[in-house]
Amino acid sequence: MPKIKMPKSSPSIDMTPMVDLAFLLVTFFMLAASIRPSDPVDVDIPTSISDMAIPANVVLVTVDAGGRVFFKMSDPEAKRELITSMMGKYSSLKLTEKQVEEFTLMETFGCTIGELPEYLDLSTDERRQFNTPGIPYLDSTKNQLKDWIDFGNRAAVNSGRTAYEVAQMDGLNPDPKDFVPKFILRVDSKTLYANAQKVIDVFRELDLNNLNFITSLEMAPM
Amino acid sequence: MAEIAEGGGGGGHDKGKKRAKKSSTKVDMTPMVDLAFLLLTFFVLTTTFAKPKVMSLVYPAKLTDEELAKIEPTKINNAITFLLTEDKIYYYEDEFFPIGNKQGEPPTELKETNFSPDGVRALLAKGNKYVIQEKERLEKLVESKQMVDSIFTKKMIEAKQNKKALKVLIKTDDKATCKNFIDLVDELKIADIGMIAPVDILKSELDLLKAKSK
């Protein structure tokens, strides 16, 4: 019996569902990626093989390539306590309730105490353009950075203690070390080490010697 | 009724009017799928790698002037001091003897090194033999199940703090960048150095650095 040859037709797949799927996945990842709050300064961080993750309760000081210093703290309640202490020490600093609220929500910031009320009223983009020398730290008699770090540390310790007690009451058996603030320095690759060292000296004067540097991950050598 | 004319012979009805050849509108979706998956891969990769990490470094405590005066200078052995300047790394081993020193030792000369595998890494491997041998010994014990991982970590920390382990001091001048500093500390951590101390530079060392950079 002669074999009947089926006419060869090239199979054509309708690609439409695959395109739908691909765009769905793209949209998912675009939305799921958390939006990083934009900083007033861009820093090109150096690399290292260290793979420790950034802890939650942090006091972060950024030093950019020009030697300007910026400050950031993670907990809004601690920031409220911080700004209250700063207003207590610097009598020239007077902020409205709205500005205090803005301070507790703001991420990285860097300006002198005198510029702070004006700085708080600006939008995020305007803050990037704002011409500021950063937080002063070079003058040992008027070291504003030292006060920010000192009061910030106390505020973070207090808020950490409250969080620890809450966790204890919830029966989670927490580790006290997780609730102590960690001090992190974010430096640009091109920052002169001399400037970073002056900032480190401010930490050391307050007897905070356990410091960390922010680095991006690089492959460990074989 | 409109009809999609096929091929080239559809112009029969309209006399005199030349109907444009209408070919079937089928778009090949393959490049669009390629593009979509490319975008997808891009987002998957960029969101994971954006997370920065931290590198910890413990600094020596700041001593008051009275405490500094009480410290007797102990003989430094088994230590390397690195001096960082703009783009170069110099080092010397053990103690520093300035030109014309009282002990009558020959003045210390600065040697140059770099971040290549036969630079800093080779230097540290040579000096830190004690820790490297201890690590091999302990790793063998862990592999043969005679030691637990937690004890291994504790023993490694002890080994790194031991007197026989290599100590590293880091000194910088005005022109040193943070990139070099952090790269150096990273190399030290790779080489299992436990005692890292960033300290102030002495004037005689600064003079030597200036002389080298001329």
Name residue B55's beta-bridge partners: A213
Residues of B in contact with A36 (CB under 8 A): 50
Measured in angstroms, the CA of A92 and the nearest CA of chain B are apart by 32
Q: Tell me how crowded residue B197 is: count the other CB atoms within 10 A of its CB.
A: 15
Question: Taking CB atoms and an 8 Å limit, are A197 and B190 in contact across chains?
Answer: no
Contact with chain A for residue B189, Cβ under 8 A: yes
Share of chain B above pLDDT 90, in %: 0
B3 or A220: which leads in pLDDT: A220
Give the model's pLDDT for residue A14. Answer: 80
Q: Does A15 touch chain B (CB under 8 A)?
A: yes
Q: Which H or E element spans position B172?
A: strand B167-172
Residues B156-185: tens digit of each pLDDT: 888 888 777 888 888 888 888 888 888 888
Whether the per-residue pLDDT at B11 is higher than 50: the answer is: no
Q: Report CA B95 to chain centroid distance, whole Å.
A: 27
> Which chain B residue has its CA at the smallest distance from A31's CA?
B43
pLDDT at B8: 47
The residues near A146 (Cβ < 8 Å, ≥ 6 apart) are A137, A202, A205, A206
Residues B23-75 pLDDT 10s: 778 888 788 888 888 988 887 777 655 567 888 888 877 777 666 666 655 66
Question: According to the model, what pLDDT value does residue B5 have?
Answer: 44
pLDDT digits (tens, 9 = 90+) for B119-140: 888 888 888 888 888 888 888 8
d(C-alpha A135, C-alpha A145), whole Å? 6
| Residue from the list B29, B55, B177 with its beta carbon closest to the beta carbon of A189 | B177
pLDDT in tens, chain A (222 residues): 667 777 777 787 787 888 888 889 888 888 877 666 667 777 788 888 887 888 878 888 888 888 888 888 888 888 888 888 888 888 888 888 888 888 888 888 888 888 888 888 888 778 878 888 888 888 777 788 888 888 888 888 888 888 888 888 887 777 777 788 889 888 888 888 888 888 888 888 888 888 888 888 776 666
Q: What pLDDT is recorded for position B72?
A: 59
Predicted confidence band of residue B104 (pLDDT cuts 50, 70, 90): low
Coil vs helix vs strand at B24? coil
B33 touches chain A (CB under 8 A): yes
> Are B176 and A216 in contact (CB < 8 Å)?
no
Torsion of CA B90, B95, B98, B99, to 10 degrees: -90
User: For residues A116 and A114, what is the distance between their CA atoms, to the nearest angstrom?
Assistant: 6
Quick one: three-class SS letters along chain A? CCCCCCCCCCCCCCCHHHHHHHHHHHHHHHHHCCCCCCCCCCCCCCEECCCEECCCCEEEEEECCCCCEEEEECCHHHHHHHHHHHHHHCCCCCCCHHHHHHHHHCCCECCCCCCHHHHHHCCHHHHHHCCCCCCCCCCCCCCHHHHHHHHHHHHHHHHHHHHHHHHHHCCCCCCHHHHCCEEEEEECCCCEHHHHHHHHHHHHHCCCCEEEEEEEECCCCC
The answer to whether B2 contacts chain A (CB < 8 Å) is no
CA nearest neighbour of B150 among B162, B138, B166: B138
Per CB-CB distance under 8 Å, the chain A contacts of B33 are 15, 18-19, 22
Mutation pick from A26, A140, A188, A191 vs chain B, by most beta carbons of B within 10 Å, is: A26
